Amino acid sequence: MEHLSKEISENQRIVEERLQGCDDILLRPIMLGKDRETACFLIYIETAVSNLMLEDSVIGRFLNGLRSMEQAELYETLEKDGMGLSDTGKLWDMEAAFAAMLAGNAVLFADGLDFALKIGSKGYPGNGVQKAESEKVLRGSREAFSESEKTNTALIRKRIRNTGLKVKETPLGESSHTMAALLYMEDLILYSTDLILPHPYVAERAFVLESLNEIAPYFVDPVQRKQIRQLWEAVKETKGS
């Protein structure tokens, strides 16, 4: 179990390393205190804490309150688990911090403190299966995908609460700039009678590699140990010969 450090730079280094490739999770440095002398940062899932800066949100009011305090009062407030908020709590190790964030909360790290603070939010957007008024949906047993890439990504993140789930977002189209996301489990290789991951013939499928090359050309296939762009170039050479 990896305990938190009082050095915020060390905590931020570990968090950034774990969240590399997670485009749906944001790390936001902020300076708190009346004189803006206390370095902090927040981590949160974008769609779960979308109203972070609104003054009428719980998190917004909490942060604005901390910005008006002297440093000693700020530390005292954080030691007491927040400004009278019911859904806050101390987190003493990295795994607890990541678990709280993946559950849809914001997590605040502050320089000089060897714990992080969970700040409750409304969590993941609700996406129950229901009759769509304006969007087409693909219906599952309990929840539904929609035309929103952010919402669909959040639905998968809600089910797979693991920083090993990577989300690579990129705009496609010269005019539309439609946002697309490639999701994958880092270094996942699975062989069973029911399922093989990655697909055993992905390195031979031009139509798959062409699309993957547009989204994530430098992604390394865990089986081939080659970048997608290399596999795509090899397939093109084979087709052209």
Question: Over its length of 241 residues, how does the chain's per-residue pLDDT go in tens digits?
Answer: 778 999 999 999 999 999 998 999 999 999 999 999 999 999 999 887 765 555 557 778 888 888 999 999 999 988 886 666 667 889 999 999 999 999 988 999 999 999 999 987 666 666 543 444 555 555 544 566 777 888 888 888 888 898 989 888 888 777 777 888 878 887 778 888 877 878 888 888 888 898 888 878 888 888 888 999 999 999 988 876 5
**Cβ(109)–Cβ(41) under 8 Å?**
yes
Cα torsion 68, 71, 75, 78 to 10°: value is 20
- β-partners of residue 179 are 171
Question: How far from 109 is each of 10, 16, 41, 188, 202, CA to CA, in Å?
Answer: 11, 13, 5, 30, 41
User: What is the model's pTM?
Assistant: 0.75
